[in-house]
Amino acid sequence: MTATGFEGKRGQTALVPAGDALGVPAVLLVGVGDPAAVTVDGLRRAGATVARAAGKVRTVATTLLDAAPRGTAEAAAQALAEGVLLGGYQFLEFKSQATPSALRRVSVLDGRAEVRRGLARGSAVGGATVWARDRVNEPPDTQSPAQFVAAARRRLAGTGVRVEVLTERQILAQRLGGVAGVGQGSARPPRFLKCTYEPTRRAPGHLALVGKGVVFDSGGLSLKTAAGMETMKTDMSGAAAVVAAMSVLGKVGVRHRVTGYVPLVENMPSGTAIRPGDVLRIRNGTTVEVLNTDAEGRLILADALSLAVENRVDAIVDLATLTGACVVALGDKIAGLMGNHDGWRDQVQGAADRAGEPVWPLPLPTDYRRLLDSEVADLKNVSAGGYGGALTAGIFLQQFVGDRPWVHLDIAGPSRASGDDGYLVKGGTGFGVRTLVELVSGFTVPEGTVTGANGASGKPRAARTVANRAGAAAKSTKKPTARKSLTPKPRPPRSR
Ligand code: BES
Ligand code: MN
Ligand code: ZN
């Protein structure tokens, strides 16, 4: 072994011809580093190493789980399966001279029941993440909002998840002014996808998963630069993660009711596009002055969050490639985590930690709410000053979650990998799928009330009956209220 230079360092591999003794042509040595320091995520990486190193053979058997830390057999098996699927991922649809991996089967030499369970779960979650990556990597010309919906329908068929889709006319009729407004500049009309998972037994809780689905973000009339646009097919990563996670809830035996809210638009400049200065009316009645058409994600999410609130779900989590500012703050490996409820935020942080997806908390300072004050409407869509863009985007979303426990994950950084790294492959990462499945599996209904300013008026709004045409200036019917106090006060749950 010394002769091969193999020392067992993390990520190191060596292929050793086996002769006849073992009945196999070769043995692959995979380093996991210090045996006392191996983690569950380390096994995910080791799985990826196997998948990459064994691309020339059809089958591999592995004893890697022998390296799992004590008492983690099930989680380690899950991570190993995820690592194999994610590390071996290739997107070759448009490669004329493709060299696809030959690997078809990885057998884990461990027959324990918990290992079997972990492998099944990891295969399901890994497969879902692969689907999300495919969606993100798909070129935007073949992924209109309608085409994304078609792909989601195929993915969800036979999983027990019910799919409802609003067309552009229905989006207007339902007064989803944000979705209609952002979508109106594109030749390819918007869609709103709602998917519902209902377990057969009575569900203890009801969660909403919300995903930003901008199939391409040119910036609209506030046009991005050429370089800024290069990766903007990635702007539907939140939507892909939500649909992918929902597709395996039945398989992993989730007991709760889960509703996915996925607004889908293409943000384009054109003669029919929204203009800086236009005012949109969001589903919950709030009016928004659009000063920068490139801050479009928050506009479509506002409608989606409004619908989740109307549905009286127990908790909401949204995933969105929302701001470049979050990438500046945390880099491209870590997602920003914001929320209005400590317990719910802790649940999401815990799920992300267990899933091995890095997320880090950011604040939602009540004091920054005034940076979104508009001259003519309830809110403007970009903040004055321009600093702290990830936070003001979060505060914008917060205006639409009422008194519901809510967490926002800004995944603008980690939704795309700039190079191969462990189980990440250059391109779409499927970030969030693992966290969402973990979160829904371990969900408990959050207790207590939310913190911070909720709603532009601080009061729940009655549903509007006036028609809302996207792009038409909408006048708020709300009474002006006093400025919010600086210290967030907990609010009692709203009575129906
Ligand atoms: N989709 C972008 C955010 C983004 C940037 C995602 C980089 C991934 C990588 C979003 O719609 C956007 O354009 N945000 C603007 C907001 C600004 C106009 C307030 C941004 O971050 O520049
Ligand atoms: Mn944008
Ligand atoms: Zn965007």
CA of 374 to the centre of ligand 1 (A): 20
**Domain range holding 317?**
143-441
Give a yes or no: residue 138 inside a domain. Answer: no
Boundary of a domain, candidates 441, 456, 473: 441
Residue of 232, 293, 294, 318 best suited for mutating to test ligand 1, as the one with most atoms within 8 Å of CB: 294
pLDDT at 452: 76
From CA 9, how far away is CA 32, in angstroms rounded?
6
From CA 84, how far away is CA 444, in angstroms rounded?
31
pLDDT at 275: 98
**Ligand 1 close to Cβ of residue 321 (< 6 A):** yes
Give a yes or no: residue 7 inside a domain. Answer: no
CA of 351 to the centre of ligand 3 (A): 26
pLDDT at 1: 67
Give a yes or no: residue 392 inside a domain. Answer: yes
DSSP H helical segments within 195-285, as ranges? 226-229, 237-246
- Burial letters for 342-381: b for 16+ Cβ neighbours within 10 Å, e otherwise? eebbebbbebbebbbbbbeebebbbebbebbebeebbbbb
pLDDT at 126: 98
Q: How many helices (H) and strands (E) would you count in the chain? A: 13, 18
The pair of three-digit structure tokens given for residue 205, joined into one six-digit string: 């809780």
The pair of three-digit structure tokens given for residue 453, joined into one six-digit string: 């300013």
Q: The domain spanning residue 101 has which CATH number?
A: 3.40.220.10
Average pLDDT, the chain: 92
Nearest atom in ligand 1 to the alpha carbon of residue 325 is 21
**Nearest C-alpha neighbor of 76 from the set 119, 127, 37:** 119
CA of 382 to the centre of ligand 1 (A): 11
pLDDT digits (tens, 9 = 90+) for 114-138: 999 999 999 999 999 999 999 999 9
pLDDT at 206: 98
Q: Is 212 assigned a catalytic role? A: no
pLDDT digits (tens, 9 = 90+) for 34-92: 999 999 999 999 999 999 999 999 999 999 999 999 999 999 999 999 999 999 999 99
Q: Are strands 257-267 and 191-197 parallel, antiparallel or unpaired?
A: antiparallel
Q: Which residue has the tokens 């994600």?
A: 297
Mean pLDDT on 404-420 = 98
Three-state DSSP state, 64: helix
CA of 155 to the centre of ligand 1 (A): 28
The pair of three-digit structure tokens given for residue 1, joined into one six-digit string: 């072994």
The alpha carbon of residue 281 and the mean position of all alpha carbons in its chain are separated, in whole angstroms, by 25
Q: Is 283 assigned a catalytic role? A: no
**Ligand 1 close to Cβ of residue 324 (< 6 A):** yes
pLDDT at 237: 99
**Ligand 1 close to Cβ of residue 410 (< 6 A):** no
The alpha carbon of residue 97 and the mean position of all alpha carbons in its chain are separated, in whole angstroms, by 32
Does position 472 have pLDDT exceeding 90, yes or no?
no
Boundary of a domain, candidates 391, 413, 441: 441
Q: How confident is the model at residue 453 (pLDDT cuts 50, 70, 90)?
A: low
pLDDT at 21: 77
Give a yes or no: residue 372 inside a domain. Answer: yes
Give a yes or no: residue 446 inside a domain. Answer: no
Boundary of a domain, candidates 126, 156, 189: 126
Does position 112 have pLDDT exceeding 50, yes or no?
yes
Between these two residues, 463 and 50, which has the higher pLDDT value?
50
pLDDT at 317: 99
Neighbours of ion ligand 3 (CB under 5 A): 214, 217, 235, 297
User: Could you tell me how many residues make up the chain?
Assistant: 496
Between the two ends of the chain, the Cα-to-Cα distance in Å is 71
Q: What is the domain count for the chain?
A: 2
Written in H, E and C, the secondary structure of 279-337 is EEECCCCCEEECCCCCCCHHHHHHHHHHHHHHCCCCEEEEEECCCHHHHHHHCCCCEEE
From CA 172, how far away is CA 417, in angstroms rounded?
36
pTM of the full structure:
0.92
From CA 132, how far away is CA 430, in angstroms rounded?
5
- Which residue among 116, 153, 224, 354 is the active-site one? 224
- Which residue among 45, 175, 188, 298 is the active-site one? 298
From CA 303, how far away is CA 180, in angstroms rounded?
10
Give a yes or no: residue 477 inside a domain. Answer: no
Nearest atom in ligand 1 to the alpha carbon of residue 235 is 1
